A and B are shown apart, each in its own frame.
Chain A
């Protein structure tokens, strides 16, 4: 191996280490006895690893409920987002209708407005609709993200018109074209988008905090934050909570990684 390759490998390993070290320490602390992490200097490894923190977390703290809330909201958010975003993005790219480009430009312009600015009006709107303090209210912002529509549209633009026309000649309806031709071709970008929505909604803190008043409806981040406000010193339990929050999405991410970098359209069209 050349020096150049060695140095690149070394650099990559270093970056990976820097990234992963906090995660490892998070797991490590979650296995320590109460108060152990508060010593100075903080220990790297637990002297006698224990699952006590997790027992407390799932027991008296009732993290199971919040975990379920998070899973429910993120799954629904992802499903609904895909349901609305994909057809919308496809339509903006490939279907001819009045005002298409003007509408799209307007949407893209709205991207520059920070989401936080929209939160108060949205809250008031949902209040009028009676959706405050409900799962439905927590889901609303995820339904049709502009970024998702934009992403799907950009990928749809690379689908050759002739392929869709061939399907039209073959007798496929617009719905069948979307399901049987466009969706499979878009698979990699759909996985990416799904991950993005799932992660964002999973990690989202502000909106569920605003819209959910009832403890029973709390998502993981909101519940953990509420707990840490009351028990500032509880590093070990907090870290166990952080592990419970991070682990599912980490696993999801790794499991799906082979999908998001695959090739999109090879072989349809010349070359």
Chain B
């Protein structure tokens, strides 16, 4: 097994630059998830690691080998594609044995490897079937089995769950975690589903537009997003971002004129500086409290146990989403008091970068 290191990866397709200098270090055995919106270059990055795309610039190391110029098969990686890409004319067994047969491995060894992988994935009864006779979830397992059989140093997954229905996705997510616990193989996993990222990852890499926005554990990214993009990308419902200006006494004035207390900044800002205040919907407390602000509920989404309140501000104010346990007592049109505890606030400067606060 081995770690992975990417240094200053750049990739052009014609004149468009898709990767704009990406550097990543993945420790041995780590499960790293790359998330980002569609088109940000996740697949391109993964395919570059696999050797399916040639980087315009940059180097890739796997373990202690520089694999930048090597063919895909020489890199010690296995990849599972979003479309599974099974060989339709081969049985499940032959699909999984394909790489070892190409490598002219010993028959007994091949059989052992295929059966071991099939046992791990619970697909032993399917070994004689062709891919056409499998369900989506079963195909997915075969694709993973094909990767396991090769005993790669690194697993590469490109949105492996996106073709499955919601139920199966949740179950396979759990199985991915289980598989990783069992095999301990270094994994690079691409998704645009932030729930997958939060639940599976040891570390998350958030990408946007060919660049890395932030790297960290799910906990870190959730608690201390480096900018507004990351803040809004992780967590549902998304973090509220309110425009404001600095006022005196460690307070800020929201658009619309209300005043709230801020946490103390590491680098104090002069009054009048524009800033953005972020607060997660689940961090807003509803109920009378000192400093609470009155809001009218413009709309309620009830999700069963939880409800999302959309608090319509007064004239000139931005609406705020707030999530809480739903006891059925609130109605649209009610006025509630909402507190924005300063400890839960995230402050961003006018460019969207975080403003460090003390005590976090």
Contacts and interface: CB of A to CB of B under 8 A. Distances in A.
Interface of A: 160, 162-163, 165-172, 176, 181, 184-185, 187, 265-270
Interface of B: 50-52, 71-73, 77-79, 81-89, 98-99, 102-103, 130-134, 136, 139, 146, 150, 163
A266 B88 CA distance: 6
Nearest to A176: B102
Given A169-B79, A185-B89, A270-B84, 5 more contacts: A163-B87, A170-B102, A267-B130, A268-B86, A269-B85
Given A168-B52, A170-B73, A268 B79 contact: no
A26 B9 CA distance: 73
Contacts of A168: 52, 71-73
Q: From A165, A170, A181, A269, name the one whose CB has the most chain B CB atoms within 10 angstroms.
A: A170
Nearest to A269: B83
Given A169-B72, A169-B77, A162 B85 contact: yes
B72 A162 contact: no
Give 3 closest A-B pairs by Cβ, nearest first. A267-B132, A267-B131, A171-B73
A160 B83 CA distance: 9
A270 B85 CA distance: 8
B212 to A, nearest CB: 25
Contacts of A172: 73, 98, 102
27 contacts: A162-B82, A162-B85, A165-B50, A165-B52, A166-B79, A167-B98, A169-B50, A169-B51, A169-B72, A169-B78, A170-B73, A170-B99, A170-B102, A170-B146, A171-B102, A181-B87, A265-B88, A267-B131, A267-B134, A268-B83, A268-B84, A268-B87, A269-B83, A269-B84, A269-B86, A270-B84, A270-B136
Contacts of B98: 167, 170, 172
A24 B89 CA distance: 40
B89 A184 contact: yes
A98 to B, nearest CB: 15
B150 to A, nearest CB: 7
Contacts of B82: 162, 270
A99 B202 CA distance: 46
A268 B81 contact: no
Contacts of A269: 83-86
A271 B82 CA distance: 12
Nearest to A171: B73
Contacts of A171: 73, 99, 102-103
Q: From B89, B131, B136, name the one whose CB has the most chain A CB atoms within 10 angstroms.
A: B89
Nearest to A187: B89
A163 B89 CA distance: 12
